[in-house]
Amino acid sequence: MAFPRKPKKYAQMATANSVTTGSITNGTILNADLSASAAVSLSKLELSHDAYIIVYDGETGTDGDAIPVAVAMSGDGTISETGVFAIASGVIINDDIKSDAAIDFSKLASLDSGYLLVGSSGNVATKRAISGDVTISNTGVTSLSTPFAHTTDGLGRVEKMAVATYSYGVDYSSIEIASATDIDVDTDTITSTGHSLTAGTVIDMTTSDTLPTGISATTAYYVGEVGEDTFQLFDTYAHGVAGGATGLVNITNVGVGTQTLHINRFGVINLGITMPDNAIVTGGMIDVTTAFVDVDDGTNNTAALHLVSANDIFSAANLTAGIKDVVPDSTGSTAVKMTAAKDLFLTIGTECLKSGKAVVYLRYVEGT
């Protein structure tokens, strides 16, 4: 009688029945069947070509999803088998750059020293050296070329034009004051409400009866120590502008009647322009648009211009209407050089002026 065989141990049965490729039905392993830590080696993926990338193509699988495939990268970028990405030449356009990218100038192509970028005939930014009458250094300093510059000392010299206007009209240029109430002999001060005079203004005084003691007829005086409603009189323009005690006209008696102050009728008048130290006046002209006419007999009135010394710009002459020559005539022998910063003055003759208007043009260079 045969006895039944003993069953194999469980371990021996598991070994004999291990899962193999042949025992797995194709297409049945799902994503969920893989351990989250499976770490499947990339070498286990399907073989592909150098520098190919995996993308999803337009075809779909059985579940309707796109199928991942290996393709060669093309278009505006390429990638190497080592993963190096490169953008093709000539494909980046203006819209690709961020509006606030603030790209450093150092990132631009090199630009030759002293060159500028200008638009070419083809509307392309192109480097060009400045030429003609102006040059520029690599520090941005511009220089004028001859004949517009004098460069023997390395400094550019540009000829300049100074323009000053003098105008006199009898209808707006007098102030009346009362001797008894408007003149203070203790402070040598004259009161005229809202007079609008400025320091250095030249005046003379006439009277309906008797002039104040200390004031002479047909004599030029200069306004100084100006307040809104008060002023004093000085002997020179410089003293009037400086103010103080020097040159102050001492009025010892107020006079009698009405005193009339005539503004800019004659005397030395500052025309309001200053030539800098070492400036050289080379030429110019005076355009007399309204003849200078005397108030007494209607004859022409003489005038002169000076900067450094009497008559050095225009010698005393009758200023009839028209263009007048000045002393400097673009020659070295007649040029006038400043020994310090100087104001331009018009000296009107001793007769009282009724009318007159002139525009003074002086051409000069700044010397060294």
Evaluate whether residue 283 is within a structural domain.
yes
Evaluate whether residue 103 is within a structural domain.
no
Comparing CA positions, the residue from 265, 283, 269 lying closest to residue 355 is 265
- Residues 164 and 298 occupy one common structural domain: yes
Angstrom distance (rounded) from CA 243 to CA 200:
10
- Residues 277 and 164 occupy one common structural domain: yes
Phi/psi at 202 (nearest 5 deg)?
-95, 135
- Residues 259 and 209 occupy one common structural domain: yes
Evaluate whether residue 304 is within a structural domain.
yes
Evaluate whether residue 351 is within a structural domain.
yes
What's the pLDDT at 344? 95
- Residues 164 and 289 occupy one common structural domain: yes
Evaluate whether residue 92 is within a structural domain.
no
- Residues 194 and 253 occupy one common structural domain: yes
| Domain range enclosing 223 | 172-267
- Residues 259 and 338 occupy one common structural domain: no
State the CATH number of the domain containing residue 285.
2.60.120
Comparing CA positions, the residue from 315, 316, 324, 311 lying closest to residue 351 is 316
Quote the Cα angle for 147-149-153, to 5°. Answer: 130
For the chain, helix (H) and strand (E) counts, in that order, are 3, 24
Q: Are 358 and 306 in contact (CB under 8 A)?
A: no
Give the total number of structural domains in the chain.
3
Q: What does the block give as tokens for 345?
A: 């003055």
What's the pLDDT at 151? 46
- Residues 178 and 298 occupy one common structural domain: no
Q: Last residue of a domain, which of 122, 153, 184?
A: 153
State the CATH number of the domain containing residue 178.
2.40.30
Q: Last residue of a domain, which of 98, 125, 153?
A: 153
Q: Are 211 and 226 in contact (CB under 8 A)?
A: no
The helix (H) or strand (E) run that includes residue 281 is: strand 279-294
Regarding pTM above 0.75, the answer is no
- Residues 214 and 347 occupy one common structural domain: no
What's the pLDDT at 325? 96
What's the pLDDT at 141? 82
The helix (H) or strand (E) run that includes residue 242 is: helix 237-242
Evaluate whether residue 193 is within a structural domain.
yes
- Residues 252 and 220 occupy one common structural domain: yes
What's the pLDDT at 226? 93
Please provide the DSSP assignment of 77-141 as one string. EEE-TT--EEEPTT---GGGS-TT----GGGSPP--TTEEEEE-TTS-EEEEE--SSEEE-TTS-
Torsion of CA 223, 227, 231, 237, to 10 degrees: -20
- Residues 243 and 205 occupy one common structural domain: yes
Evaluate whether residue 97 is within a structural domain.
no
Contacts of 175 (CB under 8 A, 6+ apart): 192, 195, 197, 260, 261, 263
- Residues 280 and 347 occupy one common structural domain: yes
- Residues 164 and 299 occupy one common structural domain: yes
Q: Last residue of a domain, which of 220, 241, 267?
A: 267
Torsion of CA 107, 108, 113, 115, to 10 degrees: -150
Please provide the DSSP assignment of 192-217 as one string. -TT----TT-EEEEEESSBPPBT--T
| pLDDT tens, the chain, 368 aa long | 555 555 555 445 545 566 777 778 887 888 888 888 888 887 787 767 777 888 877 665 555 567 788 888 888 888 888 888 888 888 888 888 898 988 888 888 888 888 888 888 888 888 888 877 777 888 888 776 655 554 444 455 678 999 999 887 654 478 999 999 999 999 999 999 998 888 888 888 999 999 999 999 878 899 999 999 999 999 988 899 999 999 999 999 999 999 999 887 677 888 988 999 999 999 999 999 998 887 666 676 789 999 999 999 999 998 999 999 999 999 999 999 999 999 999 988 766 677 789 999 999 998 87
Evaluate whether residue 58 is within a structural domain.
no
